[in-house]
Amino acid sequence: MTALLGFSGSLRRRSFNTALLRATAELAPEGVTLTLADYRDVPLYDGDLETPASVERLKAEVAAADGVIIATPEYNYGIPGPLKNVLDWLSRPAYQSVFRDKPVAILGAAPGVVGTARAQGQLKQVLLGMASEVFPWPEVLVGSCAARFDDSLALTDEKTREVVGAMVAAFAMRVARGR
């Protein structure tokens, strides 16, 4: 059994990135589970504060997961603030965090035609700075996302489903080899 933990970079109730993670869970191979992390209760990062219980809970979830999948939108050419904030909390202590050597795959959905290319590039830099093992391929950049999901936010575009399914299968194989 391979247990993956998913982080959506969007907190919106009708988030395409959360829907993309749900589709990833649905398309995962047999024996692979993907649980979505909830970090709405994580405060703004402040190194002077004691680590909040919400962060300790997430650290335990990341530590227990065999791998992490992050679905990020792109806000103003970059990583959404809430996602960066939770990663800042989870990156502590530096170079010894729960993300050290943790396999992490990235995907994302956005309304524009280039998808989330810039945000994914920034996210890779952040994760490498956290000493994570960033999964390189296949990359999943879902552009023009509104046309790929139906009104209930189910991923209906067959080509996109195929790419997402291939990514989660390849990532799960990589994670299983590393254990």
DSSP lists the bridge partners of residue 105 as 69
pTM for the model stands at: 0.96
Give 63's pLDDT tier (boundaries 50, 70, 90): very high
- Whether the pLDDT of residue 179 is over 80: the answer is no
Sequence ranges of the domains in the chain:
2-178
Mean pLDDT of 143-154: 95
Q: Decide if 108 contacts 17 (C-beta within 8 A).
A: yes
> Can you tell me the distance from the alpha carbon of 161 to that of 18, in angstroms, rounded to the nearest whole number?
15
Most confident of 48-62, 108-122, 136-150: 48-62
Name the average pLDDT for the chain: 96
Give pLDDT, residue 138. Answer: 86
Mean pLDDT of 85-97: 94
**Helices 158-178 + 16-27 axis angle, to 10:** 70
Give pLDDT, residue 95. Answer: 87
Considering only CA atoms, which of 82, 99, 97 is closest in space to residue 43?
82
Q: What are phi and psi of 142, to 5 degrees?
A: -95, 100
Return the number of other C-beta atoms located less than 10 Å from residue 119's C-beta.
24
2-178: in CATH 3.30.565.10: no
Cα 56 from chain centroid (whole Å)? 18
